[in-house]
Amino acid sequence: MTTYAYTANTATAAASANIATDKVRIATSNAAIQYTTSFPNVALTGTVTCATTSNTVTGSGTLFLTELGIGYWIGNTTGNSAGIVKSIASNTSLTLTANAAVAITAATARLSPYGVPYTVATANSQVIPANTVENSIIVGQGNIVSYLSLAGANSIFSITELGMPHSNTGTSGVNPVGIIPSGVPNY
C-alpha cells in the first residue's frame, strides 16, 4: 500500500497525486475535509488566450505540439471548460471542436488527456469528519482526489491506495503533490 500525506486549506482547492488503484482510504486528523474524485490535470506551459466567440486558442510561450493531443480537454485553473482540442497548428495555435465555453485571457490553462474536465472540491462534494478513517472510497484508477479544508486552519490528512496498482495508471504528465514517503514509487 502506498500512503500520501496532504495538507488541505480553506483558501484554495488542491489535488492529490494520481491514484493507481480503484479504491483508497482517506484518514483525517483534527479537522474535516471535503473531497471529490477528479480526472488528472496539469498546467500548460506559458499562457493562453481564447474567447467564447471563437474556436481558436492562441498561446504565448506554449508547447501545444508536445503537451497536447487531439481530444485533450483544456480549461482554466478552476476547472471551467474552454473545450476539446480538434487540431493543433503550431506550438502557439490550436482549434477547439466548438467555440470556447469560457474566455481565458493571457493566463495559465489546465489540460486533461482524457477529454473531460477536472473538478475541484465544492459544497456539493463529500465530507469526511475530523478524526475519521474511511476504508472504502471508490475513486477510479487514474483519478485524483480534489480537496478543501472545512476548518479555519490547515487540515492534515492521508490517502492510502488499497490493492495492487493497475498496469496503466493514467499518470502521463501529471506530477504528484504533497509528501511522498522515501522509497515509495512516484505514481
Contact 85, 93 (CB under 8 A): no
- Quick one: cell of 117? 474536465
Written as nine digits, the cell of 77 is 485553473
Q: pLDDT digit string (tens) for 146-167?
A: 888 888 778 999 999 887 776 6
Q: What is the pLDDT of residue 11?
A: 77
Q: Where are the alpha helices (DSSP H) in the chain?
A: 64-67
Domains of the chain: which residue ranges? 3-40+119-162, 42-112
Predicted confidence at residue 157, as pLDDT, reads 92
- Find out if CATH 1.25.40 is the number for domain 3-40+119-162: no
- In percent, the amount of the chain with pLDDT more than 90 equals 44
Supply the mean pLDDT for the chain. Answer: 83
Cα dist from 3 to 17, 110, 174, 177, whole Å? 10, 26, 18, 12
Per-residue confidence band for 183, with pLDDT thresholds at 50, 70 and 90:
very low
If you average pLDDT over residues 24-43, what whole number do you get?
88
Residue pLDDT, tens place only, 73-132:
999 988 889 999 999 999 999 999 999 999 999 999 999 888 888 777 776 788 999 999
**Given this model, what pLDDT does residue 184 score?**
38
Q: What angle do CA 118, 113, 80 make, to 5 degrees?
A: 30
Looking at 22-178, which runs of residues are DSSP E strands? 23-28, 33-38, 42-43, 47-50, 56-60, 73-75, 81-90, 93-96, 104-107, 110-112, 126-128, 133-138, 144-149, 155-162
The band of 143, judged by pLDDT with boundaries at 50, 70 and 90, is: confident
Q: Is the pLDDT of residue 173 over 70?
A: no
Query: Which phi and psi (to 5°) does residue 136 adopt?
Result: -145, 65
